[in-house]
Amino acid sequence: MSKNLSELSGRGGIVDNLFEKMGNAAEKSGTVSQEELDRLAKEFLVGKANTYGTVTAYDFMKPENKGKKAYICNGSACLCAGTQDKVMDSLSEHYKREEIGHMTCLGRCHENSAFHIGGVNYSGDASQKMSEIVSTQGALQPKDAYNVGSNKELLTEAFTDVDAYYSIIHDVLKRSPEEVLGEIKDSNIRGRGGAGFPMGVKWDFCRKAESDTKFIICNADEGDPGAYSDRYLLEERPHSVLFGMMVGGFCMGAQWGILYIRAEYPESVDIVNAAIQELRDRNLLGDNILGTGFNFDFKVIKAQGAYICGEETALINSIEGQRPEVRTRPPFPAIQGLFNKPTIVNNVETLAAVHWILDNGGSAYAALGTDKSTGTKLVCLDSFFNKPGMYEVEMGTSLRTVIDDFGGGFKEPVKAMHIGGPLGGMVPVSKIDDLAIDFESFSTNGFLLGHASVVCIPEKIEIIKYLEHLMEFAAYESCGKCFPCRLGTTRGQEMFAKAINDENYKIDRDLLNDLLDTLQEGSLCAHGGGIPLPVKNALHYFEDELSQYLA
Ligand SMILES: Cc1cc2nc3c(=O)[nH]c(=O)nc-3n(C[C@H](O)[C@H](O)[C@H](O)COP(=O)(O)O)c2cc1C
Ligand code: SF4
């Protein structure tokens, strides 16, 4: 990462944004022409190599994306469900193979068969109407239905209306930022994006950082296959996310709230923009909001297809129009983030909890859940459940309750669940009764709660094939900054692929262990550092099945 490039990219502030301009330029043909890249390099004074380097890092801007007309989901849940060959056959009747790209993942894990045409996502039985979808290009807009339930409604509480929802902002803005922040600290809420860092502590770091410009960013790059809870919030409860960002801005003195929303969720982008307009119409944005002296506005940045942009420093580089490479820390973003200014990055679900906390008090929130994992958690169940859907449960709820009472049990034999995204643990069904939905329960049992998405691995899928898929995903999405991950994930994928395809080849167990330890210990971020967890779980719990591939 270059501090100078950050400065140059930030000269026009967030309004005149290099990355957004690149994305817009790629909209028509699928990539950005060399002339436009040169022009942008000149406009932002960043050099041609930088603009070219950036676009090549994104699925929806790189030169190979040129001419793509349809995309098929290749995420873990669609893979396990085995639906995508049929979707590909159906797409192939209308498009040449080179016109079909991949998206990972569309967040339609509850019904699979997911694909994307003309800016619209489809899933379930939509591929049966392929001719109509292709000929109307975006006119057919199906609503995807998934179950929503809860044993404690905070985030899934019914939404009344905008005026009623924002009525408490008047009181909030009359209090001091320290006092409001005190409620967040009292709630003990921990970040839902994966790392579980206390929100109040992070906001306090940024509040104390001295700067005339600060940013709060909503990380809406939910890339974990199996997860669609952030999508639920963005599309069904956008105001809870916006409200949380406004309060964050007030507490730490940030003037801008930026929502970085993944391109794979086009509906989310539109719905959030419409919600922002509702606030603008009510004079709840801009300068001197409600006469309190608080200045705040929103900007939506549409991502362009790179899983690593979910990592907060890669995300910041992305908004700056730099390659989405992870930054070394310190300095942490709360001190030196976007355009070198103090920046908070929070997950969608973390931000969405702020309204309830301020409405009911931080200690009321802290009283929910367990001592160290307070509040509720959204959990996503894929199509292997009888009642797939998105469920809000109080932290500490047993995994058995989630699976049987909410999910209605498995609809076909399942041997393991991959919980918490690609970097999460592989939980064998024999461990279900040992686990509860909270950070500690998962970590003490050798797993990771992460974003709490559940992808089932059915009996019929060989674990080694799933491991190869995981390593392939990790290698493809590696930002390439550090060699343990850049090289290690590819070597891992090669090992699994060779073992599957060559019956005379056996994986050297010591070599594999060395590789996993090197990834875990030597990687700069939790991408390379996290991918060994599910592999180690698999080696531990599925040793009998895997032994035929190991020497
Ligand atoms: C490879 C990788 C992918 C990540 N993807 C996401 C993501 O999609 N959404 C998210 O909120 N956090 C993601 N994170 C975590 C972020 O870096 C960061 O910790 C989080 O956005 C902070 O928000 P929180 O404190 O509210 O959890 C990812 C981290 C890594 C290492
Ligand atoms: S671990 Fe992988 S994704 Fe993370 S910094 Fe290193 S190369 Fe990049």
pLDDT value of position 503: 93
pLDDT digits (tens, 9 = 90+) for 113-172: 999 998 899 999 999 999 999 998 877 777 788 999 999 999 999 998 999 999 999 999
Examine the domain organization and report whether 230 and 353 are in the same domain: yes
| Ligand 1 centroid, distance to 29 Cα (angstroms) | 31
CATH number at residue 485: 1.20.1440.230
With respect to residue 416, please indicate whether it lies within any of the assigned structural domains. yes
Nearest residue (CA) to ligand 1, atom 10? 193
Q: What ligand is nearest to the CA atom of residue 260?
A: 1
User: Do 470 and 540 belong to one domain?
Assistant: yes
- Please check whether residue 60 lies inside any domain of the structure: no
Residue listed under structure tokens 């003309």: 118
**H helical segments located in 412-462:** 439-444
The upper half-sphere exposure of residue 262, i.e. CA atoms within 13 Å in the direction of its Cβ, equals 30
pLDDT in tens, the chain (551 residues): 678 999 999 998 999 999 999 999 999 899 999 999 999 999 999 999 999 999 999 999 999 999 999 999 999 999 999 999 999 999 999 999 999 999 999 999 999 999 999 889 999 999 999 999 999 887 777 778 899 999 999 999 999 899 999 999 999 999 999 999 999 999 999 999 988 999 999 999 999 999 999 999 999 999 999 999 999 999 999 999 999 999 999 999 999 999 999 999 999 999 999 999 999 999 999 999 999 999 999 999 999 999 999 999 999 999 999 999 999 999 999 999 999 999 999 999 999 999 999 999 999 999 999 999 999 999 999 999 999 999 999 999 999 999 999 999 999 999 999 999 999 999 999 999 999 999 999 999 999 999 999 999 999 999 999 999 999 999 999 999 999 999 999 999 999 999 999 999 999 999 999 999 999 999 999 999 999 999 999 999 999 999 999 99
**CATH classification of the domain holding 252:** 3.40.50.11540
- Is the entire prediction scored with pTM above 0.75? yes
Cα of 12 from ligand 1 centre, angstroms:
27
Q: Are residues 352 and 324 both part of a single domain? A: yes
The answer to whether position 48 is within a domain reads: no
458, 489, 515 — which closes off a domain? 458
Q: How far is the centre of ligand 1, averaged over its atoms, from the C-alpha of 333 (Å)?
A: 13
Q: Are residues 312 and 399 in the same domain?
A: no
Please report whether residue 78 resides in a domain. Answer: yes
Domain shared by 181 and 198, yes or no? yes
Residues 245 and 334 in one domain: yes
| Residue with tokens 């730490």, as numbered in its chain | 252
Atom of ligand 1 nearest to the CA of 423: 1
Domain of residue 543: give its range: 463-549
Residue 18 lies in a domain: no
Query: How far is 132 from 135, CA to CA, in rounded Å?
Result: 5
Is residue 41 a part of any domain in this protein?
no
The terminus-to-terminus CA distance of the chain in angstroms comes to: 42
Peptide bond into 428 cis (omega under 30): no
**Relative to the alpha carbon of 486, which ligand is closest?**
2
Domain end among 458, 485, 517: 458
Calculate the CA dihedral of residues 525, 342, 318, 289 and round it to 10 degrees. 140
Give yes or no: residues 414 and 483 share one domain.
no
Work out which ligand 2 atom sits closest to the CA atom of 489.
2
- What token pair was written down for 70? 């349809």
Distance CA 13, CA 254 (A): 13
* 326 plus 428 within the same structural domain: no
Number of domains composing the chain? 4
Q: Which atom of ligand 1 is the closest one to the Cα of 314?
A: 17
Q: Is residue 57 part of a domain?
A: no
Residue 143 pLDDT = 74
pLDDT in tens, 392-403: 999 999 999 999
Pocket residues: Cβ below 6 A from ligand 2: 308, 326, 478-482, 485-486, 523-525, 527-528
Atom of ligand 2 nearest to the CA of 519: 1
Chain centroid offset of residue 360 CA: 28
Final residue before a domain boundary, out of 458, 487, 506: 458
- Do both 133 and 153 map to the same domain? no
Residue 46 lies in a domain: no
Q: Are residues 178 and 264 in the same domain?
A: yes
Distance 212 CA to ligand 1 centre (A): 26
Which residue is closest in CA terms to ligand 2's atom 1? 528
User: Rounded to an integer, what distance in angstroms lies between the CA atom of residue 75 and that of residue 94?
Assistant: 22
CA 126 remoteness from chain centre = 25
> Residue 391 sits in a domain of what CATH number?
3.10.20.600
Whether residues 216 and 231 fall in one domain: yes
**Same-domain status, 440 and 496:** no
Residue ID of nearest Cα to ligand 1 atom 18: 312
